[in-house]
Structure 1
């Protein structure tokens, strides 16, 4: 019987978190409503959350071209001063949450 080793990845680092579904358009709308550029958001993520994210990754998240981990979504929500659920919700639910805020 061959024992199967489960390794995180080739380099021995922890596996990346699976991308979560999110509401990119809501994220973009909130960022713009806060009068922040993508570069501003990246700077704030670095300063407030010690998280370095390339501006292109933010753009990909906002257009739903790429997923984002819980860690990234949570950090963005804290920087944008909204509940994480707003960025994770379906567009209709996010709109309702934003209107009540």
Structure 2
């Protein structure tokens, strides 16, 4: 199913790096604080724009990265082609 909004993975990565967190740090925080288990490669694929997070995972990422959802949404011009949602 296609998502109505597209997440800009570059913005996720930028925020993660601002917080000086590694991909593994975020994956561990998701598991510990949000009870969400994902593979580090899945997060990398989201950041690279190859995958889109599902709604629940997106919310969990926002909480771990201490940001609101709007901060990570793609610009409307970039969101023309739907990408299959991941876990």
TM-score, normalised via structure 2 length: 0.79
Aligned residue for 1:65, secondary structure, equals: coil
Structure 1 CA distance, aligned partners of 2:68 and 2:49? 19
Per the alignment, residue 58 of structure 1 pairs with: 43
RMSD: 1.8
TM-score, normalised via structure 1 length: 0.68
Q: Could you tell me which of 62, 66, 72 is aligned with 1:87? A: 72
Deviating 4+ runs (over 4 angstroms): 17-20
Q: Is the CA contact (8 Å cut-off) linking 1:21 and 1:68 kept in structure 2?
A: no
For residues 4-83 of structure 1, the aligned pairs below 5 Å read 19=3, 21-83=6-68
Higher RCO structure, 1 or 2 (CA under 8 Å, sep 6+): 2
Unaligned runs of 5+ in 2: 77-87
Structure 1 CA distance, aligned partners of 2:9 and 2:21? 15
Structure 1 residues 68 and 18: alpha-carbon distance in aligned structure 2, compared to 1, 3 A threshold: farther
Once the 2 structures are TM-superposed, how far is the Cα of residue 90 of structure 1 from its aligned partner? Answer: 2.1
Number of matched pairs = 75
Bigger-Rg structure (1/2): 1
Structure 1 CA distance, aligned partners of 2:62 and 2:2? 18
